[in-house]
Each structure stands twice: as structure tokens, then as C-alpha cells.
């Protein structure tokens, strides 16, 4: 395999616990809850009435109000997080070869809000009232297009769509582009904004969401015996990846090294994870192999940890399969306990969190873990952050359709 090294030089994030990276990280360390009753629409007829909505987010610093009216919220959030990442990286866009900088921003669903609104217009007022901006606002790849246009980046430009693994696949594929010499820099991650009536109705019908409506603060409880479903979140997580050679040449600050990726398929069921954990295990093993690591080198796993009965039990089993006896020595936690499940953006935000875990030597907790559930018997860092010297970590993402993607982050050592 090509021995180029890939590093992380810029971070951007918007979540229900913070409108930028610093606030999100502070919230993660403090175990902050971002979940409350939904305010976007009337939830009277919905079985789940709670979600992790953004709080007082002002998009005007990133997108002009006139332009914002032509975009779905998922694109606005992606532009915001992408802009943060570029600024944080210190890239001097004017001095860079724009053909060597690519953009991959994923979304699991895309413009669900604009779809809902325009479909309502169609039914009530006829086809001539549907906006000419409907299609470009809805399609999942459009955020990558907007960021490419904003900065003039002309390298590889597209998105991956694999449900809740979408931005993990984007990060892994961007890593490949850098290793293959297709680009020197990649702006990559995910964005999602589907706290809408249509999306929530669909997930309610699947019985995938928590119905702990009377206690939203404790509704997302990964690995807890009383977990009853996931909590929808919204937001974006985007990073700047570079070859080490390019980062050094411009004297960039380096947060961490992107060690490798592992992709696999469950070949089992459209929504349920494979019952023997083989697919998830395979992805974890492949990520470690690409990174040149053994199970004993892994100190932390940022779990998929959705707070659903099936995922948490089966993910625990797959971690045991992949790491063997070392699984009991690894700290594991779920960011989703605090800012919910961001679907296609989850892996992007959780990658940012994992990078900061290694950089700062602090593992965010799994909040609302009062008593572990059946077959959930590993170290989930319950309720309180932990100082820990982590040299390498995995971050897990598993999507409907049996899509598994695991990323490996390593502490940067020159």
C-alpha cells in the first residue's frame, strides 16, 4: 500500500450542544444534554416528540439570507461547518493549486425540509408553484458543490450516500484520494437536517425512535438497560485532510493522523444489524489493518452507540469479536447520548470528537448510563469524562442496508 500519510489540519462542527467546534467539544466533555421537545412543528400526533435541535444558530455569518432562502437547512449547516474547517486549517486559498483540493460532503437523506415544503405547494397550489430551486436544494451532493464554488476548489467533488455511514464513507474515500495522489487536500464530512414531519413520521413508523417524551434529557441512553430507541439530531461535522507532505510544506498545525479505514457489508437485513456481528467486526479489523495496528494499540472506540435495543448489544458483541480479550481494556463511549443521531452527518461530527479526544487526552462520557443492558458488559465511560492517554482510536458507523464503515485516528507523532 502507498505509504503516504494523511493528517487532520482543520475542524468544523455544528451540533445541538454547540454552534462551533469549541462549544461542541466543551459540551461533550461536560456531558451536556442537547435533547428537548421538538419546536419545529406540532408533534401532537407523533409517537416521538423529542429531538436534538440546534440552539440559536445564526447562519448569516456563513450564508447570505437571500442565498439561504434557496437552500435546504442541511446545506446551510454544511457550508457553516465547512467554512469553519477551512478557516481553522489556515489554508491560504489564494496560494494553493485549486485543482489539488477536493470536496466530499455527504448526507444520508438530503433536503428533506425543502422536499416537504415544495410537495405541500404542489398539492395545494399546483405544479407551477414549485420552486425552480427545489431540485438543486434537495439533492444530497449539493453541499459539496456549494463549498467547491465558494472556495474555487476544483479537485474531486461529490458525496457518498450510505445512510448513517455516509460521512464515514466520505472520510474513507477522501483518504484514498489523498493516498492515490488525486489531491493534496480534501474538505470532507457530513451534514444533515431532517427533524421534519415526514422524516420523523417515517422513523416513528419504524419504531426506531425513543418515546421517552416526558423525560427528554434522559431519552438517549446508549448501552443502558432501559434504552428504547434513538433520538434524531441535526448538524454537521467537516474536517480538512491533507497529505503530511503538504501540511508540513505550509507549516500547518496538525491535530491528529488519519490512520485508515475499514468498509464492509452485513449482507443480512435492510434495517437490522447482522446478528453475529461479522460485518461490523470485519470493518473494525480492516481499519486496524490499514492503519498497521493491532487490537492492543486501540485505546478508545467512539461507538455507533445509537441507544436502540439491537445496535448496542450487537455492537458490543462485534467489538469483542474484533478486539478479542483486549475489548475489556478499551474505553468506549457514545456521543449520540448528548447530541442525538445525526444520520449521514453522525460520522463527521464523531470524527471531529475522536480527533479532539486524542489531541486533548479526554474521553467524552456516555451520559444517561445508569445500568448496563443485557450483553452490554464493556467499559462505556459512564456519565463522566475521563482523562486518558489514547494513542489510537476507532470510530464506528453502521447504516441501514448493512453499510459498515470504521475509521482509525492516531495521535500525530512526527
Tens-digit pLDDT profile for residues 63-106? 999 999 999 999 999 999 999 999 999 999 999 999 999 999 99
Q: For residue 210, what pLDDT band results from cuts at 50, 70 and 90? A: very high
Q: Which of 146, 169, 304, 403 is catalytic?
A: 304
pTM of the complete model? 0.97
Closest among 396, 403, 394, 413 to 294, alpha carbons compared: 394
Using DSSP's 3-state secondary structure scheme, residue 56 falls into: coil
Q: Which of 146, 159, 164, 408 is catalytic?
A: 164
Q: For residue 2, what pLDDT band results from cuts at 50, 70 and 90? A: low
Q: Are 398 and 280 in contact (CB under 8 A)?
A: yes
The answer to whether residue 1 scores a pLDDT higher than 50 is: no
The answer to whether residue 5 scores a pLDDT higher than 60 is: yes
Taking the C-alpha atoms of residue 240 and residue 185, their distance in angstroms, rounded to an integer, is 7
Average per-residue pLDDT for the chain: 97
Q: Are 160 and 173 in contact (CB under 8 A)?
A: yes
Taking the C-alpha atoms of residue 394 and residue 301, their distance in angstroms, rounded to an integer, is 5
Tens-digit pLDDT profile for residues 153-197? 999 999 999 999 999 999 999 999 999 999 999 999 999 999 999
Tens-digit pLDDT profile for residues 235-263? 999 999 999 999 999 999 999 999 999 99
Pairing state of beta strands 386-387 and 300-302?
Answer: unpaired
| Catalytic residue status for 37 | no
Q: In the chain, which residues fall in CATH 3.40.47.10?
A: 7-249, 261-410
| Catalytic residue status for 310 | no
Q: Left if phi > 0, otherwise alpha if psi is -120 to 50, otherwise beta: which for 173?
A: alpha
Mean pLDDT across 135-140: 97
Residue burial 347-377, b: 16+ Cβ < 10 Å; e: rest:
bbbbbbbbbbbbbeebbbbbbbbeebbeebe
Q: Are 308 and 210 in contact (CB under 8 A)?
A: no
DSSP H helical ranges for 65-223 = 65-68, 73-89, 112-125, 134-138, 142-151, 166-179, 197-205
Residue-level pLDDT at 298: 98
Within 10 A of 383 (CB to CB), how many other CB atoms are there? Answer: 13
Tens-digit pLDDT profile for residues 29-71? 999 999 999 999 999 999 999 999 999 999 999 999 999 999 9
**C-alpha pair distances (Å), 178 with each of 11, 191, 235, 260:** 18, 22, 26, 12
The CATH code of domain 261-410 reads: 3.40.47.10
Q: What percent of the chain has pLDDT over 70?
A: 100
Mean pLDDT across 371-393: 97
| Catalytic residue status for 164 | yes
Can you list the positions of beta strands (E) in 284-402?
300-302, 331-333, 362-363, 386-387, 392-399
Q: For residue 3, what pLDDT band results from cuts at 50, 70 and 90? A: confident
Label residue 158 exposed, middle or buried (CB < 10 Å: 0-12, 13-18, 19+). middle
Within 10 A of 129 (CB to CB), how many other CB atoms are there? Answer: 11
Taking the C-alpha atoms of residue 263 and residue 347, their distance in angstroms, rounded to an integer, is 13
Tens-digit pLDDT profile for residues 292-327? 999 999 999 999 999 999 999 999 999 999 999 999
**Candidates 3.10.620.30, 3.40.109.10, 3.40.47.10, 3.30.70.2190; CATH matching 7-249:** 3.40.47.10
Half-sphere exposure of 153 (CA within 13 A, CB side): 30
Q: Are 104 and 170 in contact (CB under 8 A)?
A: yes
Q: Which of 146, 169, 246, 341 is catalytic?
A: 341
Residue-level pLDDT at 413: 87
Amino acid at each position: 500500500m502507498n505509504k503516504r500519510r494523511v493528517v487532520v489540519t482543520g475542524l468544523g462542527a455544528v451540533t445541538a450542544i454547540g454552534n462551533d467546534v469549541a462549544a461542541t467539544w466543551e459540551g461533550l466533555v461536560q456531558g451536556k444534554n442537547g435533547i428537548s421537545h421538538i419546536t419545529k412543528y406540532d408533534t401532537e400526533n407523533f409517537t416521538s416528540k423529542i429531538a436534538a435541535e440546534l440552539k440559536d444558530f445564526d447562519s448569516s455569518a456563513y450564508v447570505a439570507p437571500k442565498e439561504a432562502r434557496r437552500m435546504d437547512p442541511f446545506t446551510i449547516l454544511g457550508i457553516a461547518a465547512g467554512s469553519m474547517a477551512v478557516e481553522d486549517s489556515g489554508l491560504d486559498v489564494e496560494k494553493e493549486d485549486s485543482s489539488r483540493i477536493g470536496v466530499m460532503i455527504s448526507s444520508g437523506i438530503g433536503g428533506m425540509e425543502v422536499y416537504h415544503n415544495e410537495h405541500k405547494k404542489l398539492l395545494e397550489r399546483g405544479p407551477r408553484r414549485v420552486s425552480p430551486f427545489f431540485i438543486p436544494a434537495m439533492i444530497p451532493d449539493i453541499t459539496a458543490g456549494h463549498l467547491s464554488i465558494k472556495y474555487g476548489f476544483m479537485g474531486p467533488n461529490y458525496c457518498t450516500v450510505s445512510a448513517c455511514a455516509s460521512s464515514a464513507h466520505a472520510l474513507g474515500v477522501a483518504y484514498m484520494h489523498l493516498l492515490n495522489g488525486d489531491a493534496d487536500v480534501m474538505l470532507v464530512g457530513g451534514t444533515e437536517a431532517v427533524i421534519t414531519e415526514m422524516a420523523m413520521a417515517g422513523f416513528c413508523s419504524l419504531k426506531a425512535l425513543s418515546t421517552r417524551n416526558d423525560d427528554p434529557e434522559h431519552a438517549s441512553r446508549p448501552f443502558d438497560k432501559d434504552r428504547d430507541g434513538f433520538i434524531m439530531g441535526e448538524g454537521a461535522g467537516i474536517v480538512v485532510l491533507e497529505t503530511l507532505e503538504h501540511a508540513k510544506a505550509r507549516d500547518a498545525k496538525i491535530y491528529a493522523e488519519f490512520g485508515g479505514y475499514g468498509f464492509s457489508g452485513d449482507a443480512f437485513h435492510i434495517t437490522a444489524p447482522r446478528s453475529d456481528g461479522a460485518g461490523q467486526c470485519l470493518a473494525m479489523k480492516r481499519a486496524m489493518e490499514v492503519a498497521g495496528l493491532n487490537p492492543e494499540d486501540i485505546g478508545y472506540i467512539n461507538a455507533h452507540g445509537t441507544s436502540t435495543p439491537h445496535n448496542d448489544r450487537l455492537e458490543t458483541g462485534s467489538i469483542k469479536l474484533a478486539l478479542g480479550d483486549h475489548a475489556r481494556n478499551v474505553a468506549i463511549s457514545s456521543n449520540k447520548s448528548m447530541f442525538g443521531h445525526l444520520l449521514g452527518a453522525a460520522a463527521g461530527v464523531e470524527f471531529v470528537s475522536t480527533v479532539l479526544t486524542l489531541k486533548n487526552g479526554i474521553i467524552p462520557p456516555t451520559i444517561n448510563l445508569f445500568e448496563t443492558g443485557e450483553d452490554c458488559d464493556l467499559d462505556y465511560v459512564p456519565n463522566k469524562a475521563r482523562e486518558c492517554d489514547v494513542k489510537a482510536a476507532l470510530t464506528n458507523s453502521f447504516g441501514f442496508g448493512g453499510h459498515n464503515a470504521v475509521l482509525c485516528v492516531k495521535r500525530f507523532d512526527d
